[in-house]
Amino acid sequence: MNLTKAGRCHMIGLHADEIEWVRLLVSLLRHADPLAPELARQALEYVQTVAEAARPANDLRPAAKG
> pLDDT value at position 55?
79
State pTM to two decimals.
0.53
What is the C-alpha radius of gyration for the chain, rounded to an integer number of angstroms? 15
**How far is CA 33 from each of CA 21, 24, 37, 57, 66, rounded to the nearest angstrom?**
19, 15, 8, 40, 46
More confidently predicted of 41 and 16: 41
Is pLDDT above 60 for 3? Answer: no
Question: Domain locations in the chain?
Answer: 3-53
Is pLDDT above 60 for 4? Answer: no
Query: Tell me: the pLDDT tens digits for 24-49?
Result: 888 988 999 989 999 989 988 988 88
